Copies of this chain bind each other. A is one copy, B any other.
Amino acid sequence: MWTMRSPAGSDVLIIGGGLIGLAAAWRTAVRGLSVTICDPAPGSNASFAAAGMLTPVTELHYGEETLLSLNLASAKRYPSFIEELREASDGLDPGYREAGTLVVAFDADDREVLSELHVFQQSLGLKAEWLTGREARRLEPMLAPGVRGGLLVSGDHQVDNRMLLAALFAALERDPKVTIVRSKVAELTVTGDRATGVVLEDGTALPAAQVVLSAGCWSGQIAGIPEELLPPVRPIKGQILRLAIPDVFKPFLSRTVRYVVRNNHAYLVPRAHGELVLGATVEEQDYDTAVTAGGVYELLRDARELVPGITELPLIETRAALRPGTPDNAPLIGPTALPGLLYATGHYRHGVLLTPATADGVAEILATGTVPEALAPFSPRRFEHHQK
């Protein structure tokens, strides 16, 4: 790739500074390439709102076995990724926490949902332990007496996505090969039949040998990308709350608690520093990011059915952000049909989990031109023929 470096530009230009774009920049710079990231407000949308669950086993869905492999690989990569980031950021703690995850059911129907999930997990050789309601309450005494049983997945963990963002920013700031430009990209520049950089809203041209599009749900809106190549991402709104756990109630919960209540799925993620993340709605509302009375109501209603004690906790933040959804709920990672243009977008509900695998994979492709085998199923090219 070195031969393609533009004299006045970067080896790589990344459109979008969410976790995916920032981590990809870091891993790419580690390979020796120069990187420019363009984002008017890096780390402020889904990456900031997220709960940071690293729960490939408890979030397993039918028909997503291929995605499961990538999810598991990324979860497995997390500890070393975190250690490398800690070093690169001069000792910042990225907030990774291995405490396991418990999924509990509210009524008999919900227990059936869990039971089916358990059968599916076992059929794939995944480790999950069935618990009675009493056993679940022994692990988490704040659970309601009526809880109908649970699944303990001791290998599903969490990372504090805001601490992770802070560590990534620190690592990037320390690396002279990385530049963060806080501006919006107006257009992809195509020269001949190759992507050769971008133009910012103020007209500034930023040439680059290769361009990575990691703009989340806005990835389909960049001018200059040939229409048949535009990634089919759409915004999926999520509303999420943050509660505080006063010292008198600590630890409150000792691990992530996911729950099924009348077939609604939600979760509580306790942070080491005393925050409790309560999420999340899943809504198709175009680009609307309003926190609504109904969204907040439903999150609180369902949470208090399983963990009544949350009513005592201070509500310290309400937020809505937009996940990048795709037609098959899987991300788009890798080269496109346009030379010099790569995608790393469409991570939907798995952006935090898939950050290491995506960042490593993108860096590998940028540095060597070779797509890692694990990423092959997620090629953006699988959608080309769907488009007019």
Contact A311 B297 (CB under 8 A): yes
Contact B293 A297 (CB under 8 A): no
Please choose the segment from A68-76, A89-97, A312-320 that sits at the chain B interface, where 4 or more of its residues have CB less than 8 A away. A312-320
1/0 contact string of A262-304 vs chain B (CB within 8 Å):
0000000000000000100000000000111111110011011
Which single member of B290, B292, B311 contacts A294 (CB below 8 Å)?
A: B311
If A315-B318, A318-B315, A318-B318 touch, does A296 touch B296 (CB 8 Å cutoff)?
yes
Task: List the B side residues contacting A20 at CB < 8 Å.
Answer: none
Task: List the B side residues contacting A316 at CB < 8 Å.
Answer: 291
- With the chains together, A315 CA to B240 CA distance in Å? 13
A310 at the interface (CB under 8 A from B): yes
Which partner residue on chain B sits nearest A310 by CB separation?
A: B293
Which single member of B278, B292, B315 contacts A312 (CB below 8 Å)?
A: B292
- With the chains together, A244 CA to B292 CA distance in Å? 9
- With the chains together, A316 CA to B312 CA distance in Å? 22
Copies of chain A in the complex = 2
Contact B313 A292 (CB under 8 A): yes
- With the chains together, A200 CA to B244 CA distance in Å? 34
Contact A292 B315 (CB under 8 A): yes
A243 at the interface (CB under 8 A from B): yes
CB distance from A7 to the nearest CB of B (A): 49
CB distance from A321 to the nearest CB of B (A): 15
Contact A314 B292 (CB under 8 A): yes
Which single member of B243, B290, B292 contacts A293 (CB below 8 Å)?
A: B243
Which partner residue on chain B sits nearest A300 by CB separation?
A: B297
CB distance from A303 to the nearest CB of B (A): 8
Contact A301 B304 (CB under 8 A): no
Which partner residue on chain B sits nearest A278 by CB separation?
A: B293
Contact B291 A315 (CB under 8 A): yes
- With the chains together, A292 CA to B293 CA distance in Å? 15
Task: List the B side residues contacting A315 at CB < 8 Å.
Answer: 291-293, 295-296, 318
1/0 contact string of A331-351 vs chain B (CB within 8 Å):
000000000000000000000
Which partner residue on chain B sits nearest A239 by CB separation?
A: B315
Which partner residue on chain B sits nearest A316 by CB separation?
A: B291
CB distance from A275 to the nearest CB of B (A): 13
Which partner residue on chain B sits nearest A297 by CB separation?
A: B300
Task: List the B side residues contacting A241 at CB < 8 Å.
Answer: 293
Which partner residue on chain B sits nearest A246 by CB separation?
A: B290
- With the chains together, A314 CA to B297 CA distance in Å? 12
Which single member of B290, B296, B303, B314 contacts A300 (CB below 8 Å)?
A: B296
What are 17 A-B contacts defined by CB distance under 8 Å? A291-B314, A291-B315, A292-B312, A292-B314, A292-B315, A293-B312, A293-B313, A293-B315, A294-B300, A294-B311, A294-B312, A296-B315, A297-B301, A297-B311, A300-B300, A301-B301, A315-B318
Known: A241-B293, A293-B300, A297-B300. 19 other contacts (CB 8 A): A244-B290, A278-B293, A291-B316, A292-B311, A292-B314, A293-B303, A293-B310, A293-B312, A293-B315, A294-B300, A294-B310, A294-B312, A295-B315, A296-B300, A297-B297, A297-B301, A297-B304, A300-B300, A318-B318
